[in-house]
Chain A
Amino acid sequence: MARFTTGIVVGAFESLRNPGMTDLSRRQMFLKLGVAFNGAVGVLLGIPIVRYLFSPVTRGRNEGYDRWISLGSIDQFPAGETRLATYRNPGASPTDGETAEIPCWVRNIDGANFQVFAINCAHLGCPVRWFPQSRLFMCPCHGGVYYEDGARASGPPERGLFEYSFKIADGKVHIKAGELPTPGLSATNRSLIRIKGQAPCA
């Protein structure tokens, strides 16, 4: 059955290209052979090219891009305050220059509990600024505002600030970081805790 169908298709193809001549000529066969050979070589070359192009995706697939990094001694972050910290992104290359120096906000809640927020607004990624007097994060781009615990206060963001998971070891604050937090990523990412905007005055 399959051979029959193929025969019809090939025959139709031939008669289209070469009206009045339905049987396979020698030249036609060589042409087909040439096309098929080039197609095979194309696929052979295409595989490494596609793999090369997708390397930014595949490189981080197995373990992810996130690594534990130290933000420095716990003494730099007094209890009850929120301070800016920076780290060099794990896996940074020499051509990255300053772009690999990533800031984040470290909130020491009570000396034992911490929250570490990404600098990027959960709306479109602009750098949020901390105002200690009003205890708010404000975004300069589209006007997103967050409370000190990262919950959404007002403006266009649909959720609270992105949070890194953290641990205290050897008197230092460590966070798991390495990837730009974006609204779409957080749902799948392992190390970013999702926090919902909560009622401000419960």
Chain B
Amino acid sequence: VRLIRSLGKWVDQRLQLGSPIRETMEHPIPRETASWAYVFGSAAMTAFGLQLVTGILLALIYVPSGNEAWNSLQILNHEVTLGWFIRALHGWGSNFMLAIVLVHMAQVFLFGAYKFPRELTWIFGIFLLLMTLGMAFTGQVLRFDQDAYWGLGIGASISSRLPIVGPVLVKLLLGGPIIAGATLSRFFAFHVFVIPGLLIAFMGLHVLMVLKLGINEWPMPGRIVRRSDYIEKYHEMTHTQGVPFVPYGVWKDALFSGVILLAIAGCAFYFGPFGPSGQPDPRVIQTAPRPDYFFLWLYAVLSLLPPQLETPALLIGPVIALVILIALPFVSGEGEKSWKRRPIAVLTILLVAVGLGTFTNMADHAPWSPVMDASTGAAIPAKLLSGRTPLQIQGALVFESKQCHNCHALGDIGGQRGPALDAVAVRLTSDQLVRQVLQGGGNMPAYGKNLNPAETNALVAFLETLHPAGQRAAQDASLAAGAQK
């Protein structure tokens, strides 16, 4: 023990880090701040640490080459001892890290911690969020499979819409004219060198500022932040009723970080690694590319925006969001911190959470995508077919063979791109059905060129049978009146 102590003394004489570390450990924090609400920042850092370690472990096997990457992932999954587990840790660690970063951000926002004098801490936090998202997207590309390949195509298509610089940006993004080996190499460089380097640097500054400025005090309704006297009051509070960071605050941080690590390991062990899905071969077009979980909301937004709004929304939306986030601490740098006196802040968080949740949930079902194999794989419910005339049965065949089922559901089977047709005869007369089928409209393609009169007749005869037992089919009022005369 004496040897260790003298060795430590020797090192510290040269390194001189002992007293700053001791000061950091003992620095006073407001008593209420040693709380479970303040553990998310350190947990995000812990998750990042896990990503660093597992990332390096994966790099021992992974080959960042367009020709080899997919195979090296297979080797990791199936041949290297516990390679699947390290991949799973990295994949689940990424999801957890993003989730914790978002919770951390919401907590900081609700507790008013971005206000004076912590504006820059908040802005660096936004940079850290962007980098974390960047890590998630580039990481999804390194899992070089079908989803990665077509996801890159989506990234390229979005970048290309920027005026003037778009086409140049696409080539810089892809490292050439197409998605290929050079694309993977540069995403590897970004995922492994560039973004992590920036992340570590900004994370260091972020934490340094938390230490220098002191952690945000627990917000009390009525305790108003003023630029003139905040720092003075904060120091008074921490020095009269503060507690040392170690051990008062840190034990909760440590415990929560441990729980998070255990949760990541549990998910990794139970659910296993993500993918890879099929090989990144553009010739395999029987695929329905989907983004990773944290980009699903974007996938939904891109499907639901009206076409003419899409490009402006894609190009201007992120800029507006970023400006709002960065301007926030300057616009509302003073005043109430407590969420109890900031209803708009609470509503904003709720709105964003409900919005993102709804879009994510919708993207899970993707009602806007045609079900590509419904016309060959989905059955028409038997009750819609029994007791029908040969012409009507013929119409049901046309319904299947012309891919109507890809977009229209019958008995909850089939696509949801267009309306379900279980009761279409109640809504449309036979003339209206003919018109809709032949001319299309309302987001439906026109089938005039692809159906001969016999097929159209049969199809409409079938569609006319689609009404609930108790409800009559729609009738042309003028014809009905004529018949009565």
Q: Which residues of A contact B (CB under 8 A)?
A: 53-54, 56-57, 59-60, 65, 84, 86, 89, 91-103, 119-120, 123-129, 131, 133-136, 138-143, 145, 147-148, 153-158, 178-180, 182-185, 188-189, 200-201
A-B contact pairs, 16 of them (CB 8 A): A54-B172, A89-B178, A99-B149, A103-B283, A125-B157, A126-B289, A127-B150, A131-B403, A134-B447, A136-B450, A140-B372, A153-B445, A178-B177, A180-B170, A183-B160, A200-B448
Is B66 touching A124 in the complex (CB atoms < 8 A)?
A: no
Contacts of B450 in A (CB 8 A): 133-136
Knowing A96-B180, A140-B288, the reply to whether A184 touches B150 (Cβ < 8 A) is no
Contacts of A92 in B (CB 8 A): 180
Is A143 touching B279 in the complex (CB atoms < 8 A)?
A: no
Interface flag for B369 (CB, 8 Å): yes
Is A98 touching B281 in the complex (CB atoms < 8 A)?
A: yes
Q: Which residues of B contact A (CB under 8 A)?
A: 65-68, 149-150, 153-154, 156-162, 166-168, 170-172, 174-183, 185, 279-283, 285-289, 299, 302-303, 305, 307-308, 310-311, 368-370, 372, 375, 401-404, 406, 417, 438-440, 443-450
Knowing A56-B174, A200-B446, the reply to whether A98 touches B279 (Cβ < 8 A) is yes
Is A180 touching B153 in the complex (CB atoms < 8 A)?
A: yes
Q: Which of A143, A148, A158 has the most CB of B within 10 A?
A: A143
Smallest CB gap from B447: residue in A: A134
Q: CA A103 – CA B370 in complex, angstroms? A: 21
Q: CA A139 – CA B150 in complex, angstroms? A: 12
Is B283 touching A98 in the complex (CB atoms < 8 A)?
A: yes
Q: How far, in Å, is A200 (CB) from chain B's closest CB?
A: 4
Smallest CB gap from A187: residue in B: B167
Contacts of B172 in A (CB 8 A): 53-54, 56-57
Contacts of B279 in A (CB 8 A): 98
Q: How far, in Å, is A138 (CB) from chain B's closest CB?
A: 5
Is B177 touching A133 in the complex (CB atoms < 8 A)?
A: no
Is A180 touching B66 in the complex (CB atoms < 8 A)?
A: no
Q: CA A108 – CA B155 in complex, angstroms? A: 32
Contacts of B158 in A (CB 8 A): 124
Q: Which of B170, B180, B303 has the most CB of A within 10 A?
A: B180
Knowing A96-B66, A155-B443, A156-B302, the reply to whether A101 touches B160 (Cβ < 8 A) is no
